[in-house]
């Protein structure tokens, strides 16, 4: 028993200590993969970012990311996130997408960043992205979503929270962004409700396959910033 406990303690220590700072570094955490994902770091004049897993408890993961980025304040630098590993399903065959996310954010000076879920769909389970659905829980410092007009096309209430809906293209992908009208730091909802709204009101095809479900933060600029996710869970049923 003592040896078994030693293994558990060692595992927990290694999880909390192993921050990853490389551009494409990742860490498997239960049914999630936590990514550092510095996909657009070359737009920064200076900066760096590191991400780590703090704890795994059943279907819930706790993780954090720390960064400083300067330059190009209209450009996202990265998207550190926790991605759910799941079987791809057509929207019409999904019964629920329950999720919770509780986090805090600290920084020095001025921050431009968002905290958002990022979901992708395709007409086949293995196809390229056709639609991107973002659910912004926070928009710090004037961060704004992709939009064809710069104006919201609707205001909707889902799961007791108010969101402004924006629409625009990102290459060949159509992007819908639900941006919370006030910062949400403790979020619990069924993400299927967002798809139900789009199917009913935006002619979104329910035959699309959900292929990606992630949640994290997109920094534009910030100094000594840290997002700490104390609890994140998601499932596709």
Q: By the 8 A CB rule, do 134 and 108 touch? A: no
Q: Could you say which of 114, 118, 214, 218 is catalytic?
A: 218
| CA 221 remoteness from chain centre | 17
Ranges assigned E (strand) in the chain:
26-29, 32-35, 46-57, 60-70, 80-84, 89-90, 98-122, 131-140, 154-158, 161-170, 173-180, 186-190, 209-234
Quick check: helix, strand or coil at residue 5?
helix
Q: Could you say which of 78, 132, 165, 187 is catalytic?
A: 132
What is 47-66 written as a DSSP string?
A: EEEEEEEEEEETTEEEEEEE
Active site residue 214: no
**Catalytic site residues?**
132, 218
């Amino acid at each position: 028993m003592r040896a078994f406990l030693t293994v558990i303690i060692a595992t927990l220590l290694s999880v909390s200590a192993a921050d990853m700072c490389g551009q494409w570094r990742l860490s498997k955490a239960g049914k999630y993969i936590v990514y550092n994902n510095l996909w657009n770091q070359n737009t920064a004049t200076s900066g760096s970012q590191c991400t780590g897993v703090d704890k795994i408890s059943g279907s819930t993961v706790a993780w954090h990311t720390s960064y400083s980025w300067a330059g190009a304040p209209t450009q996202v630098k990265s998207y550190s996130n926790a991605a759910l590993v799941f079987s791809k399903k057509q929207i019409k065959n999904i019964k629920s997408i329950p999720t919770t996310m509780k986090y805090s954010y600290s920084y020095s000076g001025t921050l431009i960043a968002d905290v958002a879920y990022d979901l992708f769909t395709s007409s086949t389970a293995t196809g390229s992205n056709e639609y991107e659905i973002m659910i912004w829980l926070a928009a710090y410092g004037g961060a704004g979503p992709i939009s064809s007009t710069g104006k919201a096309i609707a205001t909707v209430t889902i799961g007791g929270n108010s969101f402004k809906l924006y629409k625009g293209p990102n290459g060949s992908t159509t992007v819908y962004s639900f941006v919370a009208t006030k910062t949400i730091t403790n979020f619990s909802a069924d993400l299927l409700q967002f798809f139900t709204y789009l199917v009913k009101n935006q002619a979104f095809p329910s035959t699309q396959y959900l292929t990606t479900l992630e949640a994290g933060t997109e920094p534009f600029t910030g100094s000594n910033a840290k997002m700490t996710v104390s609890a994140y869970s998601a499932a596709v049923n």
